[in-house]
Amino acid sequence: MPGVIPTTLWLSTRTSRFPKAPVLSFSLYLSTREQGGMKTAWALDPLTHDWDILKISWLTVGISSASQWTPNGLLYTLVSLYQASSPEEEKHLTVLVHLADSDLLWLKETIAQISRLFSPQILAGQLLLIHAPSDVYPSVNGTQNEASREELYSKQNVDHAFLMSFATNLSTYFLLIEDNVFCSPNFVTQIHSQVATMKSSPWVILEFSDIGFLGKLFHSKDLPLLAHFLLLFHQEKPLDKLLLHFRTLMVQEKSIICRPFLFYYRMSHPTFDDNQKATLDRETDPFGPDNPPAAVFTDMTVSNVHFPWEAYTLDESYFWTHNVNVGDHLTVILNHPLNLRKVQVMTGSIMEGKYALKKGQVELGYDPEGMPQYCASFFVLGHLVEGQLSQEIVPKSMGHQVNCVRLVAKAKQDGGLMIRHIYLWEEKAKKEKLIRDGRAREEDYL
């Protein structure tokens, strides 16, 4: 083959390890090219695949996962992804997972877990796994101090170059997400609607999240070029920064942000620029919220996408509404009265703070009555500042025997409103954790 130096490498990726799964055997061609006697770049070329086994879908969701990331994050993401998709949507969806780790034990366990949980999707050819052996990754140049950072950049970029090159012929569009995220209900339909509205406007990347490279949508026809681009600059910058450069080179100057956002991390997700930064919750309270069993009610507008109860979950789902009026509320009614020590309410997007409640307050409710129950009396705990409140309950007696926690709008607000979460901390839960950790004694609470 002209232009290919002798150090040719082959990347074989298989899903044939799955019990009773159709045998899918694919190869990607990986090489360095030589021009004028000099190696110029890594190149990744898809070979001819046996596509007869697979049907071309409308959307491929691509995920790269490794053992050093959040434990079970990949499984949580796949569960969320399929729960968020209707049977009709699944017909137009392919999920491609790159198991980007050389730990054979992790690979074996992960494949077994996915095979057990998602065998229908695997047998239907709707869920594909690929793996790239460690010896096909390029070496990283640089000083000793630079090596660690550049190795991270390189690994991330090459992982996703393999993922994208493999996905080229699977579907019309390609959606990039990560391995520890929450997917909003019917995200496939929402993306389809957004793409339809952009039919007359050229685009390279549509963004359905405002965090890193999460929720980025591409034309599959652009993936070979993007894979080459990532391999060319694999150790220069992290993936999200390279995607910005790629978008500009493809003559899309500005980001196209699509709201409401459809994907959120389940927990704090470190970045290369701030890998050691702890989340605000961990800094201010290492124990985390409890969110005891409760029902959630609202008189705000409810769509069929983001529901009121999603503001009370412990993941990064959220409630989306719009055109709020004075007095509109979102109320958490606890199954049993509890002693609370802290309440946190967050509204607005994580990065930009858009769609926050501009004027609102949080109230604690008591004296439940009626059927269904509601609280007969409320007292103001505090007012939102820039759409947020994180407050210990003082005096402590105010937190005793609480039945309701209510977020109330104090001014009319047009446009969208995102209520990210309502977190509750129990006084009893803190006591138990302190005693368990040896930081307090039982008699201290008697």
pLDDT bracket for residue 262 (50, 70, 90) = confident
Q: Determine how many CB atoms are found less than 10 A away from the CB of residue 316.
A: 21
Contacts of 139 (CB under 8 A, 6+ apart): none
Average pLDDT over residues 388-417: 92
| Residue found under tokens 């002209």 | 2
CB-count burial class (<10 Å; 0-12, 13-18, 19+) for 87:
exposed
pTM comes to 0.56
Q: What kind of architecture, by CATH, is found in domain 9-140+147-265? A: Alpha-Beta Complex (3.90)
pLDDT above 50 for 16? no
Kindly report the three-state secondary structure assignment for every residue of 388-412.
EEEEECCCHHHHCCEEEEEEEECCC
- Residue 69, pLDDT score: 59
- Residue 48, pLDDT score: 38
pLDDT above 80 for 272? no
What confidence tens digit (pLDDT) does each residue in 63-92 have?
999 886 566 789 888 988 998 899 999 999
At 287, phi and psi to the nearest 5? -90, -25
Nearest to 402, CA basis, from 372, 420, 381: 381
pLDDT, mean over the chain: 78
Residue range(s) occupied by CATH 2.60.120.260 in the chain: 289-433
Segment (H or E) for 295: strand 294-298
pLDDT above 60 for 285? no
What confidence tens digit (pLDDT) does each residue in 48-60 have?
344 445 678 999 9
Contacts 24+ apart (CB under 8 A), 100-107: 100/64, 100/65, 100/66, 100/131, 100/132, 100/155, 100/159, 100/162, 101/65, 101/66, 101/67, 101/68, 102/133, 102/134, 103/67, 106/67, 107/131
Beta-sheet pairing, 294-298 with 374-383: unpaired
In this structure, of 126-130, 132-136, 365-369, 413-417, the range with the lowest mean pLDDT score is 132-136
- pLDDT higher at 19 or 169: 169
- Residue 430, pLDDT score: 53
- Residue 36, pLDDT score: 41
Q: Determine how many CB atoms are found less than 10 A away from the CB of residue 219.
A: 17
CATH number, span 289-433: 2.60.120.260
The amino acid at residue 151 is: E
Q: Determine how many CB atoms are found less than 10 A away from the CB of residue 27.
A: 15
pLDDT above 80 for 350? no
pLDDT above 80 for 283? no
- Residue 444, pLDDT score: 45
Residue range(s) occupied by CATH 3.90.550.10 in the chain: 9-140+147-265
Average pLDDT over residues 256-283: 54
pLDDT above 90 for 170? yes
pLDDT bracket for residue 148 (50, 70, 90) = low
* Structure token pair of residue 15: 């899903």
What confidence tens digit (pLDDT) does each residue in 303-345 have?
767 888 889 988 778 899 999 999 999 999 998 899 999 999 9
Contacts of 73 (CB under 8 A, 6+ apart): 65, 179, 180, 266
What confidence tens digit (pLDDT) does each residue in 99-136 have?
998 888 999 899 999 998 899 999 888 999 998 888 77
